[in-house]
Amino acid sequence: QVLTQARADLIATTFESLRGAKQAIVHVYNAISPAWRDIVFQMERSQVREIAVNAAKLLRDHAAAQPDTDWHFEYSPETFSTAELDFSLECCEAVMDILRPTPERPLILNLPATVECATPNIYADQIEWICRNISRRDSVVISLHTHNDRGTGVAAAELGIMAGADRVEGCLFGNGERTGNCDLVTVALNMYTQGINPGLDFSDIDDVIQTVEYCNQLPVHPRHPYAGELVFTAFSGSHQDAIKKGFAAQEARNDLIWNVPYLPIDPKDLGRDYEAVIRVNSQSGKGGVAWVLQQDKGYKLPKRMQADFSKVVQALADSSSRELNAADISEAFDAHYCLAGEQPYALIGYQEGGQAGDRIFTGKIAHQGSERSISGRGNGLLSSVLAALRDEFGVQLEIADYSEHAIGAGSDVNAAAYVECRTPDGRTVFGIGTDSDVATASVKAVLSAANGIAVRG
């Protein structure tokens, strides 16, 4: 498709540039509104209409001289949205009389909001009026060409489609003169989110962004709809919690229909991953922190443990005065729950014996640089571990809550175990353990809680 003013010399040059092309759309335009007629051209309506008529004749004649090309034509009454509707229709009808479109070979009538001067509903009303009053509606393609001077170029295009238009012109990410043209990415993906296939492939939107930024030498704004690096990112704690719950519900439903709070589209449909959906700073809540750990390590922290670790993350974010990434959060988690660094009680190995209701734990623990053998008796594995810690080291804990889950899926997976323990003076301490054996993971979780008491007091 090529665009040319309604001037004889430019039309001739345009056709010459297309010599040998198999197929082409030649788009010709002339401004018709009162401001252009009175100020720029100083012409009467009849003279401006004649510009359009002469241009149409030139299109017809030049095309006839190059019969090997499959020619299609487009006419724009430029400044349509600020022109009188009856005169816009008059110019379009005059061009149609020359080019004689048919349903098989329609003429594209492009109706521009060259400068956006009214609300989108006004533009849509103008489009509807043309659609209702054009004489050969089945022989024309009504096309929209909006600008964004008032910030509503996309809305005007969408309402124009609803008013009867067949086609939208625009630019990727709203590039164009002044405030830009209609953003085709936003229009297309707005349709996509409503279940309408726009016929455009944005499944690797980052590649599209890279190409456009290279060609235009203009960056795509971080908050540009669908494309910006922050548009699927939540920092607010309440937003993060809702998103986390939404993902869990989506996974449980196993439903093709996307329904996650704050995310109008699945980022994966655009080639994005979920890593950047939740980013953690001092505003983030427990849900966001838990989400990052679930994505990074596969942990599904119990709610009270989420709240416990969230305080650690908020303190770290405040003290560092920056956003925390997954590595920061993982490192803080391992340190707080004594999975790395100082471990006063580290499991070397253990055996479990006895009978139902009377279990005996016998284990070896690395403590203060030496290996200690400990044993304890209880009505289950964890109670016998607690008894061993009490008898050997004077560590007194009781379990208030316990949970476990597999990390991943399949036969070769690890288990994660979580304990919430109480001390005699009423304090709460949490522990976590992971292992290929769920029983061993639970023992490690109890030792993690004991380590927390020893390290933090």
Region 209-220: what's the mean pLDDT? 96
Tens-place pLDDT, residues 107-150: 999 999 999 999 999 999 999 999 999 999 999 999 999 999 99
Tens-place pLDDT, residues 341-376: 888 999 999 999 988 778 999 999 999 889 999 999
Whether 409 has a pLDDT exceeding 90, the answer reads no
- Specify the pLDDT at position 66: 97
Q: Which residues are CB-contacts of 224 (< 8 A; sequence separation ≥ 6)?
A: 173, 231
403 and 362, same structural domain?
yes
- Which stretch of DSSP H or E encloses residue 411? none
Residue that is written with structure tokens 């110019």 in the block: 91
Max intra-chain CA distance, the chain: 106
Domain-embedded: residue 221: no
Percent of the chain whose predicted confidence (pLDDT) is above 90: 84
Domain-embedded: residue 214: no
Whether 281 has a pLDDT exceeding 80, the answer reads no
Domain-embedded: residue 223: no
Region 332-344: what's the mean pLDDT? 91
Q: Which of 121, 154, 169 is the last residue of a domain?
A: 169
CA 291 centroid distance within chain: 17
Tens-place pLDDT, residues 151-184: 999 999 999 999 999 999 999 999 999 999 999 9
Domain-embedded: residue 298: yes
What is the domain-level CATH number for residue 409?
Answer: 3.30.160.270
154 and 14, same structural domain?
yes
Quote the CA–CA distance of 169 and 176 in Å, as a whole number: 11
367 and 265, same structural domain?
no
* Torsion sign, CA atoms 280, 281, 284, 289: positive
Domain-embedded: residue 449: yes
134 and 109, same structural domain?
yes
- Specify the pLDDT at position 238: 87
Q: How many domains does the chain have?
A: 3
* Residue 267's pLDDT band (cuts 50, 70, 90): very high
* Residue 456's pLDDT band (cuts 50, 70, 90): confident
Domain-embedded: residue 197: no
Whether 282 has a pLDDT exceeding 90, the answer reads no
Whether 437 has a pLDDT exceeding 80, the answer reads yes
Q: Which of 309, 336, 363 is the last residue of a domain?
A: 336
Domain-embedded: residue 219: no
* Residue 88's pLDDT band (cuts 50, 70, 90): very high
Q: Which of 336, 359, 384 is the last residue of a domain?
A: 336
272 and 241, same structural domain?
yes
Whether 199 has a pLDDT exceeding 80, the answer reads yes
CA dihedral 12, 16, 17, 19 (to 10 degrees): 140
Domain residues for the domain of 101 are 2-169
Whether 247 has a pLDDT exceeding 80, the answer reads yes
- Specify the pLDDT at position 48: 98
- Specify the pLDDT at position 218: 95
Percent of the chain whose predicted confidence (pLDDT) is above 70: 100
Domain-embedded: residue 258: yes
Whether 410 has a pLDDT exceeding 80, the answer reads no
140 and 11, same structural domain?
yes
Extract the tokens encoding 161: 């489609």
